[in-house]
Chains A and B, each alone.
Chain A
Amino acid sequence: MLTSMRHTAFQVALLILLSAAAAWATLRWHPRAPALYLVQEPLREDEVTMKIIQERWHDDVLWIDARPQDAFDAGHVPGALLLNEQAFEQQLFTYLDILQKNTKPIVVYCSAAKCDASRRILERLKQTLPIENAHVLKGGWTAWQKAAAK
């Protein structure tokens, strides 16, 4: 019984080794070898990355934070305006002067890549006021923090 199990384990190990060798050989010599990196999801039409913000606008944008109040209080992009679903109109009411005078690109962010609040807020903002040059930050607050840490 024990000998048989050892034999099976040896076979499994051998199969794994052979598969790994075949994969390495494919990567090394195959003319169309797959690249070993995560494929970047393409940007959606309304999205910008931190790289775009830094290179194109030198970080000089009007930030809008679409997260809940408690997340905003815990930390936000300096100068960001809090505009979320919970109190959209009341908050927007207080920003009318800023938005009227604003000439900078607007970038809305929420928590991270999976959240959709920034897109919903941007859509609602555009429905309410004639906002131009406004975008969603891909990766949200997490992406901003990573860029700021560099």
Chain B
Amino acid sequence: MSANRIVIFLCLLTAFSRAELSLDVPAIELKPRPEDEEVETVFKFRNKGKTTVKILGLESACSCLSAELNKAEYAPGETGTGHASFKVSTFVGRHEKFITVSTDDPKQPEWQVNFVLDVPAVVDIKPKTLQWFIGDEKTAKSCLVRFTGDMPMKVLNITPTRENVEFDWKEIQEGREYLITVRPKTTQDVTMGALKIETNSSIAKYKYQLAFFSISRKPEPTPPASAKP
């Protein structure tokens, strides 16, 4: 075999013998229950390449997500197992997070493992913020609190953080819907406040909910940050 052929052969070998860690799914779905503080999962992946891959490290984009793999090296075709745990805390709804696995493979120095956390909403407040502008009429505005979980809940008490508002609340549908109506005493001062809504939820993180209200200046068009002042 001539030297030229050896060089060509080595180039082709390099091009085709890539290692590749891969999941069978685009993302790992985590579906905790509303009361879960933490959710754990085991996931499988495979080295679909033709060389052994050495794991150099794992880094999570969020302190809420941690993961570990069962081995430090994966041979070609070998299936690996990972274990991930997610601290749910106050996350609600769908959140996409990922961990980055560093490898010794120059073709895949970083492998991103995607996770989708889908936490069912137990409380839905709409709108989340009641807003007035300076000088507006002191009209009453309302937000609807809906308890959408399996168990009905009750509003026990509501406390405003500002004295600049009057409010009342009533049950629309027992254990399911409450209407909170807020009216500012004056719209002359800039105000940012909240209503602390106490519920009878047995789950600690749903015991208190927040709705916000504000009185602000009418916004002016903002120039781009990169523009000169």
Report, nearest first, the 8 A-B pairs whose CB atoms are least far apart.
Answer: A68-B63, A130-B216, A43-B226, A4-B3, A100-B192, A5-B3, A8-B3, A48-B225
Nearest CB to that of B209 among chain A residues? A89
Contacts A89-B90, A96-B193 given; indicate if A47 touches B63 (C-beta within 8 A). Answer: no
Contacts A56-B229, A128-B128 given; indicate if A86 touches B3 (C-beta within 8 A). Answer: no
Interface, chain A (partner B; CB < 8 A): 1, 4-5, 7-8, 42-43, 45-48, 52, 56, 68-71, 85-90, 92-93, 96, 99-100, 115, 127-130, 132-133, 135
Distance of B130 from chain A, by nearest CB (Å):
11
Nearest CB to that of A99 among chain B residues? B192
CB neighbours of A7 from chain B (8 A): 3
A130 engages B214 (CB within 8 Å):
yes
Interface, chain B (partner A; CB < 8 A): 2-4, 6-7, 61-64, 87, 89-91, 95, 128-129, 131, 161, 190-194, 196, 210, 212, 214, 216-217, 219, 222, 224-226, 229
Distance of B125 from chain A, by nearest CB (Å):
10
In the complex, what distance in Å separates the CA atom of A4 from the CA atom of B131?
81
Contacts A4-B3, A86-B91, A130-B216 given; indicate if A93 touches B226 (C-beta within 8 A). Answer: no
Known contacts A8-B7, A45-B224, A90-B90, then 5 further A-B pairs from the complex at CB < 8 Å, ordered by chain A residue? A4-B4, A52-B225, A56-B229, A96-B192, A128-B128
Distance of A119 from chain B, by nearest CB (Å):
12
Distance of B99 from chain A, by nearest CB (Å):
14
Contacts A70-B63, A96-B194 given; indicate if A87 touches B89 (C-beta within 8 A). Answer: yes
Q: Which of B191, B194, B224 contacts A93 (CB 8 A)?
A: B194
17 interchain pairs, CB-CB under 8 A: A7-B3, A8-B3, A45-B224, A45-B225, A48-B226, A68-B63, A71-B63, A85-B62, A86-B64, A88-B90, A89-B90, A93-B161, A93-B210, A96-B161, A96-B192, A128-B129, A133-B222
Q: Which of B129, B224, B226 contacts A129 (CB 8 A)?
A: B129
In the complex, what distance in Å separates the CA atom of A92 from the CA atom of B161?
13
B2 engages A4 (CB within 8 Å):
yes
